[in-house]
Amino acid sequence: MSRVCVISPFTGLAGDMLLAALVDAGAPLDAIRAAVADTGLTGWDLTVPQVLTRGITARRAVVSVSDDATSRRAEELIAMAGRVRDRTVADIATRTLRAIAEVEGRLHGEDPGEVHLHELGGHDTLVDVVGVAAALRAMDVSTVHCEPLPLGTGEVRTAHGVLPCPAPATAALLEGAVVTGTALRGETVTPTAAALLRALDADYGPPPPMRLTATGYGAGTRTLPDRPNIAVVRLGEVATARVRDLVLLETNLDDVSGEVLGYVVGHLLDRGALDSWVTPAVMKKGRPAHVLHALATPETADEIEGLMFAETGTLGVRRSEVRRTAADRTTDVVHVHGMPVRRKHGPHHGKPEYDDAVAVARQTGLPLRTVLGLATPPNLEGR
């Protein structure tokens, strides 16, 4: 199963509204706080209490701050986001902040890394950005869809003075997004929300048919006279196609070391190969060799093939079309000594994620096999 998040910006979207909606839909607050703590940010606390807004029960993300740092250089925020141990969360957060920095730098004629993020440079922005990324990661969301974003009219007050709505930075970050007009005045979409949607590569087309599993409501701080000020998220599961046409790429190598082959396999996987592996072979004149294999989609096959040429120096890569049948899979999370370990479940078997188990072993000093055993209760073995 592939998990999808659909965002409905009923009255607009801000980073804290999205974070609150995800928590309301079931995102674990402990995992969100832990990811923010990884950044090294101090003097903050995040609570997500229930509130009632125009008859709708929702959540509101509240960041309590015990210092007054409201302006930081973008470079500093990006470095802090990059400290998050989960690399997927760190990547989403840093891409979000870089998008903001690049737009602000372009608008104000400054180097993006040196841009001072005024309203966006305080604790709230880092908590919202890292928190949303961690929430989506914890709920194993692979695809984000967003309904058209309502753009308010009038003006907004910033550190640079009074600006039209949407503010120039927001308008630049929304390039490529699907928007619609609204009678609401003021800022309805914040730069943080716009940058998050860009970093998440949000799709603005209709979501696929899915089995709805959760709905969450996130409240904004502004009170509207005739409607609840909320954003809604809906989570669902989409059955993945079982049979898919793929491309198998192979090359024989008798002059590449094992160390290089190990690197190339990892590099191909990082760049989009669905799988990559090496098998031993005997070539002409009895020479020992290896066959490097990579499985790719038709869309990525050319790039993966090019990497195989560049990284190994081979003179030829074989290409063949194959069909793969993939079983549906789900994931969940267990905690070993207080640390999260994701587990993959297929119809006949399940197992913990190796990288998560390694992280627990290194942090706790437990043998890896012990961590794997603790994360694999008997009922998981036969699933």
Q: pLDDT value at position 117?
A: 63
- pLDDT of 242 > 90? The answer is no
- pLDDT of 380 > 50? The answer is no
Task: Return phi, psi of residue 179, to 5°.
Answer: -125, 165
User: Which domains can be identified in the chain, with CATH numbers?
Assistant: 2-238 (no CATH), 243-325 (3.30.70.1380), 330-381 (no CATH)
pLDDT digits (tens, 9 = 90+) for 293-312: 999 999 999 999 999 999 99
Residue type, 114: E
Q: pLDDT value at position 36?
A: 96
Distance between terminal CA atoms of the chain? 15
Least confident among 8-12, 63-67, 218-222, 308-312 = 63-67
| The model scores a pTM over 0.75 | no
pLDDT digits (tens, 9 = 90+) for 71-125: 678 889 999 999 999 999 999 999 999 999 999 888 767 777 667 664 444 678 8
Q: How far is CA 291 from CA 160, 229, 254, 256, in A?
A: 60, 59, 9, 11
| Mean pLDDT (whole number) for 333-342 | 90
Residues of the chain with pLDDT > 70, as a percent, come to 91
**What's 257's DSSP letter?**
-
Q: Return all residues near 380 (Cβ < 8 A) that are at least 6 apart.
A: 343, 345, 350, 351
Task: Return phi, psi of residue 266, to 5°.
Answer: -65, -40
- pLDDT of 241 > 60? The answer is no
**Dist CA 339 CA 359 (whole Å):** 9
Q: pLDDT value at position 67?
A: 67
pLDDT digits (tens, 9 = 90+) for 10-31: 999 999 999 999 999 999 999 9
Name the H helices within 109-235: 123-138, 168-173, 191-199
pLDDT digits (tens, 9 = 90+) for 152-187: 887 777 666 677 888 888 999 999 999 999 888 889
Q: pLDDT value at position 382?
A: 38
| Mean pLDDT (whole number) for 355-377 | 92
